[in-house]
């Protein structure tokens, strides 16, 4: 049975448009409360990023949960991975995140974590959706849920982040610029890095409800690049609005993306004999990372795009490290979900231990030039198995001479097929991608007429 509301990463959309409305959120809170109610009193945590609609949805969810007889612990502004950690440490039945991650302020969404701090399994999401179809009811007044504010949520999470690296690691004398995207890390990340001894300069730490991810953060690194060069900093760190993604900028002002950060973490673990298993990337991970890991003798496999698929692949293999080019990185021995602060601390551990700069560390991986063209489809579908397209893909792959790859991937969110080519020569890569996109376009249009 398909899901009506839950996508690959919770429920997300434009504020004020169904289902991102106060009425729906109250019903969702009630439905989740019913599903998670066990014997005795149940407690569910609610945290949010800094977008203005978070206040409205926090109140609506709180009302719905109370109506179902569930107690609520309010965390206030908190990162997505911070909510996952606190859900687990407080032995709550679930955690709710009010966030639309790297999207602009006029979007919002809901993500749930289980009591183990992990994404919900499909059967629980389906159970919540089934409950949403029922008429809302209210428990007896004597059984109504109560709401509490956890005053030290920030301090608890800061201490957790610091605990994920060796106590011998300190950042004294290191000059770092932090870009907190005017999001959930704004009052957390500066304290983490200051307490570890770094000299910290910040941008994107003045949220006003409307400026989350606005020309700052991991999806807009230009502001960080400029500030790193201006300050003469050793490196810069950019988080997204809810703190589960991270990008870095080296002292030259060059962006170091998720693939490169994963490579640095894996290389650091490998060098000290702590690399357990291989690395899981996605279909979009740069081929250069695959080659660099292979040169170290580290196994690499690709999962479908989306962190839940990376987690599933890691879990099935018993591996620990993986992630996406976007900077959503998983170190499952340190955190149950992608955590921007925890992930970058793993990178800095390698940096401090090696005595190398970030620019030097990333040199072990040669990112291959990549070109991607979106070909619009008349309707959702997957033309990649068409015989003529398969032949064109095979021809393009042969012309790369085993020094690159070709990928056709239908989008999961819009009617387009992404045509991607990677290889050593940027001019060859660009021309092959354009040729292949034209073949796909011609065949798609021919099948319509």
Tell me which of 101, 114, 218, 220 is the catalytic residue.
101
DSSP letter (8 states) at residue 297: T
Q: What is the DSSP pairing of strand 405-410 with strand 370-376?
A: unpaired
**pLDDT tens for residues 227-263?**
999 999 999 999 999 999 999 999 999 999 999 999 9
pLDDT at 345: 98
pTM of the full predicted structure?
0.93
Alpha-carbon distance 73 to 78, whole Å? 13
Q: What is the pLDDT of residue 41?
A: 87
What per-residue confidence (pLDDT) applies to 413?
A: 66
For the question of residue 141 being annotated catalytic, the response is no
Domains and CATH numbers, the chain: 11-151 (3.40.120.10), 157-362 (3.40.120.10), 370-448 (3.30.310.50)
* Token pair of 148 as six digits: 């509490």
Sheet holding 71-77, edge to edge: 11-14, 107-114, 94-98, 43-48, 71-77, 147-149
List per-block mean pLDDT (blocks of 10 residues) for the chain, which spans 449 residues. Answer: 87 97 98 88 96 98 98 98 97 97 96 94 95 97 97 96 95 97 98 98 98 97 98 98 98 98 98 96 95 97 92 97 97 97 98 97 94 88 89 94 90 83 95 96 79
Tens digits of residue pLDDT in 120-164? 999 999 999 999 999 999 999 999 999 999 999 999 999 999 999
Give the C-alpha distances (Å, rounded to integers) separating 299 from 69, 283, 294, 333: 48, 15, 6, 18
Q: Chain centroid to CA 413: how far?
A: 17
């Amino acid at each position: 049975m398909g899901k009506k509301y839950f996508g690959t990463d919770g429920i997300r959309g434009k504020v004020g448009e169904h289902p991102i409305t106060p009425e729906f959120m109250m019903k969702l809170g009630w439905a989740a409360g019913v599903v998670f109610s066990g014997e005795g009193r149940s407690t569910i945590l609610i945290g949010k990023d800094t977008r203005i609609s978070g206040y409205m949805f926090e109140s609506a969810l709180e009302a719905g949960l109370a109506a179902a007889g569930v107690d609520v612990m309010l965390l206030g502004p908190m990162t997505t991975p911070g909510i996952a950690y606190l859900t687990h440490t407080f032995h709550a039945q679930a955690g709710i995140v009010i966030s639309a991650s790297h999207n602009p302020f006029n979007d919002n969404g809901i993500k749930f974590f289980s009591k183990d701090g992990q994404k919900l399994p499909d059967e629980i999401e389906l159970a919540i959706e089934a409950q949403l179809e029922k008429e809302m009811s209210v428990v007896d007044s004597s059984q109504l849920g109560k709401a509490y504010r956890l005053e030290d949520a920030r301090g608890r999470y800061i201490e957790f982040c610091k605990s994920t690296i060796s106590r011998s690691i300190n950042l004294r004398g290191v000059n770092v610029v932090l870009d907190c995207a005017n999001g959930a890390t704004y009052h957390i990340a500066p304290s983490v890095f200051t307490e570890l001894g770094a000299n910290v300069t910040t941008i994107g730490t003045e949220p006003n409800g409307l400026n989350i991810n606005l020309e700052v953060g991991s999806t807009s690194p230009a502001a960080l690049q400029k500030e790193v060069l201006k300050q003469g900093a050793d490196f810069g760190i950019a988080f997204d609005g809810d703190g589960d993604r991270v990008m870095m900028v080296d002292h030259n002002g060059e962006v170091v993306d998720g693939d490169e950060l994963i490579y640095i973490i894996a290389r650091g673990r490998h060098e000290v004999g702590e690399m357990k298993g291989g690395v899981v990337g996605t279909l979009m991970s740069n081929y250069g990372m695959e080659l660099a890991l292979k040169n170290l003798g580290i196994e690499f496999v690709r999962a479908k795009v989306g962190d839940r698929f990376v987690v599933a692949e890691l879990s099935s293999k018993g591996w620990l490290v993986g992630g996406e080019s976007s900077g959503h990185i998983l170190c499952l021995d340190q955190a149950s979900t992608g955590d921007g602060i925890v992930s970058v601390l793993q990178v800095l551990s390698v940096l401090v231990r090696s005595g190398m700069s970030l620019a030097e560390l990333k040199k072990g991986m040669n990112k291959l030039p990549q070109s991607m063209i979106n070909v619009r489809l008349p309707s959702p579908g997957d033309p990649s198995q068409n015989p003529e397209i398969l032949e064109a893909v095979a021809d393009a792959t042969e012309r790369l001479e085993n020094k690159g790859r070709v990928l056709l991937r239908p989008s999961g969110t819009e009617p387009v097929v992404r045509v991607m080519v990677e290889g050593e020569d940027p001019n060859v890569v660009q021309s092959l991608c354009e040729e292949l996109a034209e073949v796909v376009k011609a065949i798609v249009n021919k099948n319509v007429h």
